[in-house]
Amino acid sequence: MKLRIFLMIGLSLFSNTAVIVQAQGLKIPQNIPLERAPNLPGPKIPGGIKPIENRPKNVRLVVDEIHAHTTTEKTNFLGIGNTDDELYFTVIGGSSKGIINIPRLSPPPPQDYFSTPPGGTHNNIELIQHQIEQGKSMKAIVTAADQDNAQLPAIVDLAKGTAEALGAIFIDASLSAAAKEDLKNGAIKLFNSIGANGDDPIGGFTVEVINNNNTLKATWTPGAATQMLHSDDTSATFKSNGSKSDYTYRVSIK
């Protein structure tokens, strides 16, 4: 009986009455220490468990679908030539948990691009897996491009330079108006630099994802050569026309 009273006091630390009701129905063998009692938390646990809302929240940023109406490649005047794009994504960003730097996101090696003919579609391309702390945000710049003549080390340098230039903004808790402008300009600079290095930039976007009481909310901004056709708290649809292409794509957080 003493054990039962002790149990009730211990369990009253929990606000969850369902647990208490369940515990009242349990028969605890007298010779088992309370800490090891089956299906019951020991008395030391309540202070040791972090409230779930304070834990970082996982986020995935995914291209649900990308469709090439027109690629960057054109046939010659005889109608001859390769019209496929060698599509890849450059993904730069971060949060208080760290920096994201993916110079060329593509399928597993040896293929280092998504082969994309005119009319071609790709689905479920995961761009980012990250954790966002409570009350903080993740920001990311995503650029789609066609691989032509740029060397990979040049793209790696561009991504690194962008990550370093914007690192303080990425890891800051939330974006000021000035930081938003810096982020937008950084995305345009990256887009132009990819072109200057010999690849064909297609377009892209920036996104800020806030973890507010364990609920994720995304704010989307179209990048260079890009229009936003739709956006809500978890997804957006963009149309990009960089390098004389025509792509539409839907992205979302999960």
In whole angstroms, what is the distance from residue 60 CA to residue 90 CA? 16
| Amino acid, res. 74 | K
Following CA atoms 136, 138, 139, 145 in sequence, which dihedral angle do they give, to the nearest 10 degrees? 180
Please say which residue, 42 or 117, places its beta carbon nearer to Ca ion: 117
Q: Which is nearer to Ca ion, 88 or 238 (CB)?
A: 88
- Write the DSSP symbol of residue 34: G
Note whether 140 and 92 are within 8 A (CB). yes
**Nearest to Ca ion of 93, 201 (CB atom):** 201
Q: How far is the CB of 195 from Ca ion (least distance, A)?
A: 10
Q: Which residues bind Ca ion (CB under 5 A)?
A: 72-73, 86, 146, 148, 200
* Closest CB 74 distance from Ca ion, rounded Å: 9
Q: Which amino acid, 155?
A: I
Burial of 63 (0-12, 13-18, 19+ CB in 10 A): buried
Minimum distance from residue 146 beta carbon to Ca ion (Å): 4
In this complex, which beta carbon is closest to Ca ion, that of residue 85 or of residue 208?
85
Pairing outcome for strands 226-231 and 215-222: unpaired
Q: Quick one: CA dihedral 70, 201, 234, 58, positive or negative? A: positive
Residue with Cβ nearer Ca ion (70 or 248): 70
Cα end-to-end span (Å), the chain: 49
- DSSP-based three-state secondary structure for 67: strand
Nearest distance in Å: CB 151, Ca ion:
14
Pick between residue 70 and residue 252 the one whose CB is nearest to Ca ion.
70
Output the smallest distance, CB 194 to Ca ion, in A: 11
Nearer to Ca ion, 70 or 131 (CB): 70
Min dist CB 190 to Ca ion, Å, is 17
Taking the complex as a whole, the smallest distance from the CB of residue 77 to Ca ion amounts, in Å, to 17
Q: Is 99 exposed, middle or buried (0-12, 13-18, 19+ CB in 10 A)?
A: middle
| C-alpha to C-alpha distance for 197 and 149, rounded to whole angstroms | 7
